[in-house]
Amino acid sequence: MKNVWLYLIAGLVFGGLSVCRSEDSKLNVTYAGKVSALKLPATALGQDWTGPTGLVVDDFQQALSKQPVEVKSEIEKLRKLFQPIGIVSVADFTYRKKSKPLSQITLRVFLFKNDAVCKSWWEKKYRYEGWEKHYTVVKGVPYDAVASTQITKRAVAFGNVWMTCGALDKTEDHIKLLELYINKIKNVVNQKRPAH
């Protein structure tokens, strides 16, 4: 019986340490660049991919006069929707397979004015009462992540960045694309940090 208690206590202590360690190793990256600079070529996914296409708004404060006429009204709608919740820029990067055009992945990047606003939005968006019916927590990643229980879609957040990525069919390609963009953001931020 004494050994059982020792194993139980050891499990609680080491289990607690691993929880603390994973919190300490959370990705804490604030991206201050333009969302347009994040765009990855289709070949990053493989030779069978095309794109990306989609609307990119680097700064909602930017004068609409600099935008193409055909998208001005859409940008204004997005600005009215996103600025009140603290989003300063958005990008939609959509990729398609050449061999199967209905095989499509859409990654959306949302940059918030700061980390705290992003974290607050994440809590509202993915921690409402009953959220477990719609999302499952993705474990083993160094950032906040949930997967949809209804469609092929994952959402992630770290620092001031919130990204969603979904696919029209059952695939893991959307996760690969998310990881590619997360790595690009980390690399850009790390390059700009002063050397010690």
Q: pLDDT digit string (tens) for 53-91?
A: 999 999 987 767 777 788 888 999 999 999 999 999 999
In the predicted model, what is the mean pLDDT of the chain? 85
pLDDT at position 16 is 33
Model-level pTM? Answer: 0.82
Overall average pLDDT of the 81-108 stretch: 95
**Per-residue confidence (pLDDT) for residue 192, from 0 to 100:** 67
Is the pLDDT higher at 9 or at 28? Answer: 28
CA distance 113 to 82: 11
Q: Report the distance separating Cα 123 and Cα 99, nearest Å.
A: 39
What value does the mean pLDDT take over residues 39-60?
95
Do residues 109 and 90 lie in contact, with contact meaning Cβ atoms separated by under 8 Å? Answer: yes
Q: Both tokens of residue 72? A: 């001005």
Give the C-alpha separation, 41 to 175, whole Å.
16
- For residue 100 the two structure tokens come to 């199967």
**Which strand (E) or helix (H) includes residue 94?**
strand 87-97
Task: Return the residue matching tokens 């990855």.
Answer: 40
* pLDDT at res. 190: 76
Q: Distance of alpha carbon 178 from its chain centroid, rounded?
A: 7
At residue 173, φ and ψ (nearest 5 deg) are -60, -35
| pLDDT at residue 92, as a whole number | 96
Indicate left, alpha or beta for 51 from its phi (over 0: left) and psi (-120 to 50: alpha).
Answer: left
Q: Kindly state the helix (H) or strand (E) to which residue 135 belongs, with its residue range.
A: strand 135-137
- Alpha carbon distance 174, 86 (integer Å): 26
What is the residue type of 147?
A: A
Residue 14 has pLDDT above 80, yes or no: no
What is the model's pLDDT at position 102? 85
Q: How far apart are the first and last CA of the chain?
A: 53
Decide if 153 contacts 168 (C-beta within 8 A): no
The structure tokens listed for 83 are 């600025």
Res. 179: pLDDT tops 90 = yes
pLDDT at residue 121 greater than cutoff 90: yes
Q: Once rounded to an integer, what is the mean pLDDT over residues 13-40?
A: 66
